[in-house]
């Protein structure tokens, strides 16, 4: 028996033979080209084919794993035609006189190395994207087709690492689980594995090598443990946990249609976070009681230019109508920091997390803000819309947002366009400044919603994009939980509701603390709705304590 420890990134138990991924040999000779014009034409054709393939992958990802996964491949398609990347290929071709294959390889190495060397974590992460796109263009040039898993039985797939496109193109019927030497819990492949419901473990290092191919192993995507050829006792433990998980899933199905209410009658609404109209099906399938966060920025990130009022209106109306009267909280454009779109031409900043992002972009660009607000208010005529402003730090920002809303409502009134005059207005609690001003801010809005990822980042001075902070980035930190309590108390004194829309909302270990704090709503990924409801319905609110707020 061999025991290995990695990092669990997608929960689930899997057992079966290990299959180490075999990639085709794409070694490229550094030889002179006979005709540089023909080599340039080959690159153009390979880029065109890559863009078409990635568009198809985006459509498949949207269907199988949701809008955020689709956006990843749409971004890769944009990288294919990136001006700097393309120029780098052309320069290599002209200066080295090499083949198309070698020019693409050199350009990929140069661009990925440049991105990996910058301090900005967002740009560092793009280095892997460039490598994935480079390999795809090379495969097209060389006529290589990646076969993936070439075996007759389902397997645990092992690899040094997996790119997002490799992960999505796997035959799901042959994959029991994924284990990799490298990777991280915040990487694209880990996120994709979770979306697809495939158990996954990363960071096993060189302990997991090709020599284990064919040997039977069990993996636990929650604990990160892989056991090759387990003994009887270990095998029984894995089997028992897998059986328990299956029974739990069956019990969760009985939660459909039941109220989100504790044993002593405390109601806590469970809603969902979405990124596009395509995600609404998951909300309804998982019995979400509304949408607590519609990330409207994905409409901007997926576009090559500013989305028009009509395009936005159609997307918002589709979601609002599908939710049939349940509240839909739509966050206004929250871009900047780790979310960038070239056409916005945001200036490069030394510390983008503290720069022009969120509501700062909207207030600096009133026409962009006005276009979105018009689309939002027009959509409010088709259901229950709530408008939420991100990255608030000052009272004047909220008042400026409300003036913009009033101006848009006056315009629509004058034009005879229907809208909901009583659409709720709320703000995200993401900064210590917002917490400290919560008493004043609560008098200006209808609700608070806490973005726990950013609140943790700014409270603890920890970059949420960094993989090197380990235990320093702690969403359970008493300072973060005390900030939640301060915001909740201020909200309730003003007679408004408060929710959580960050990842922490799905943390079952914190549910009792949320109940004690007085949180009214939790907005989570659709798959977390039923587990959260089951925990709520087994809790007694009046016995919950604030112990976690103590140091």
Task: Return the active site residues.
Answer: 188, 501
Cα–Cα distance measured from residue 135 to residue 214, given in angstroms and rounded to the nearest whole number: 27
Q: Return the SS3 of 359.
A: helix
What sign does the dihedral 303-304-308-314 (CA atoms) show? negative
- Write the CA distances from 481 to 122, 465, 518, 519, integer angstroms: 27, 21, 12, 11
Residue 16 tokens, joined:
């079966």
Instruction: Record the tokens describing residue 192, joined without a space.
Output: 């994709």
Instruction: Decide if 155 contacts 19 (C-beta within 8 A).
Output: yes
Strands (E) in 111-180, as ranges, are: 155-159, 175-180
Q: Which residues lie closer than 8 Å to 58 by C-beta, 6 or more apart?
A: 70, 71, 72, 73, 74, 77
CA 363 vs. chain centroid, Å, equals 25
Q: Which parts of 254-352 fold into alpha helices (H)?
A: 280-285, 297-301, 309-322
Lookup: tokens for 462: 């920890």
392 vs 404: CA distance, rounded Å: 15
Q: At what angle do helices 67-80 and 121-142 cross, to 10 degrees?
A: 70
Residues 473, 186: contact at Cβ < 8 Å? no
Query: How far apart, in whole angstroms, are the C-alpha atoms of residue 201 and residue 173?
Result: 19
The continuous run of DSSP H or E covering 226 comes out as strand 225-228
Q: Which residue matches tokens 């056991």? A: 227
DSSP 24: P
Contacts of 363 (CB under 8 A, 6+ apart): 369, 397, 400, 401
318 class by beta-carbon count within 10 Å (0-12 exposed, 13-18 middle, 19+ buried): middle
User: Is residue 137 within 8 Å of residue 76, measured between CB atoms?
Assistant: no
Measured distance CA(211)–CA(192) in Å, rounded: 27
Taken as a whole, the chain contains a residue count of 551
Could you tell me the two tokens for 305?
């230019």
Whole-number Cα distances in Å, 295 to 198, 332, 391:
25, 8, 13
């Amino acid at each position: 028996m061999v025991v290995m420890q990695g990092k669990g990134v997608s929960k689930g138990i899997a057992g079966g033979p290990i299959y180490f991924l075999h990639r085709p040999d794409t070694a490229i000779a550094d030889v002179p080209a006979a005709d540089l014009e023909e080599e340039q034409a080959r690159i153009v054709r390979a880029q065109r084919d890559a863009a078409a393939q990635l568009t198809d992958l985006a459509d498949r990802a949207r269907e199988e794993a949701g809008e955020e996964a689709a956006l990843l491949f749409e971004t890769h398609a944009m990288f294919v035609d990136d001006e700097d990347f393309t120029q780098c290929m052309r320069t290599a071709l002209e200066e080295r006189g090499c083949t198309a294959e070698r020019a693409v390889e050199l350009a990929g190495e140069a661009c990925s190395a440049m991105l990996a060397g910058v301090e900005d974590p967002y740009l560092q992460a793009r280095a892997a994207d460039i490598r994935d796109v480079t390999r795809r263009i090379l495969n097209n040039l060389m006529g290589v087709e990646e076969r993936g898993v070439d075996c007759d039985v389902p397997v645990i797939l092992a690899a040094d690492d997996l790119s997002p496109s490799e992960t999505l193109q796997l035959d799901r019927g042959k994959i029991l689980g994924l284990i990799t030497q490298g990777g991280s819990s915040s990487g694209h492949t880990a996120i994709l594995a979770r979306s697809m419901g495939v158990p996954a473990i990363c960071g096993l290092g060189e302990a997991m090598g090709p020599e284990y191919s064919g040997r039977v192993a069990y993996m636990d995507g929650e604990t990160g443990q892989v056991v090759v050829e387990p003994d009887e006792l270990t095998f029984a433990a894995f089997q028992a946990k897998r059986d328990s998980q299956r029974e739990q899933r069956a019990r969760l199905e009985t939660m459909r249609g039941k109220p989100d209410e504790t044993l002593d009658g405390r109601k806590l609404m469970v809603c969902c976070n979405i990124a596009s109209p395509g995600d609404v099906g998951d909300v309804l399938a998982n019995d979400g009681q509304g949408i607590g966060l519609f990330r409207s920025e994905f409409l901007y990130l997926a576009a090559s230019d500013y989305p028009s009022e009509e395009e936005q209106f159609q997307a918002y109306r589709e979601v609002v109508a599908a939710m049939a009267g349940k509240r839909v909280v739509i966050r206004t454009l929250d871009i900047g920091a780790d979310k960038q779109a070239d056409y916005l031409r945001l200036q490069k900043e030394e510390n983008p997390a503290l720069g022009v992002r969120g509501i700062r972009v909207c207030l600096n660009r009133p026409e962009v803000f006005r276009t979105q607000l018009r689309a939002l208010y027009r959509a409010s005529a088709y259901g229950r819309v709530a408008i939420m402003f991100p990255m608030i730090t000052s009272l004047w920002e909220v008042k400026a947002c409300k003036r913009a809303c009033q101006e848009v409502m006056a315009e629509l009134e004058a034009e005879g366009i229907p809208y909901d005059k009583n659409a709720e207005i709320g703000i995200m609690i993401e900064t210590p400044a917002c917490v400290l001003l919560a008493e004043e801010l609560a008098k200006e809005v209808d609700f608070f919603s806490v973005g726990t990822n950013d609140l943790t980042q700014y409270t603890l001075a920890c970059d949420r994009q960094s993989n090197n902070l380990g235990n320093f980035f702690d969403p359970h930190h008493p300072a973060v939980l005390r900030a939640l309590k301060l915001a909740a108390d201020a909200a309730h004194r003003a007679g408004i509701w408060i929710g959580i829309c960050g990842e922490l909302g799905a943390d079952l270990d914190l549910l009792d603390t949320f109940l004690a704090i007085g949180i009214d709503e939790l907005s989570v990924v659709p798959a977390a709705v039923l587990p959260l409801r089951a925990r709520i319905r087994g809790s007694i609110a009046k016995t919950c304590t604030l112990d976690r707020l103590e140091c």
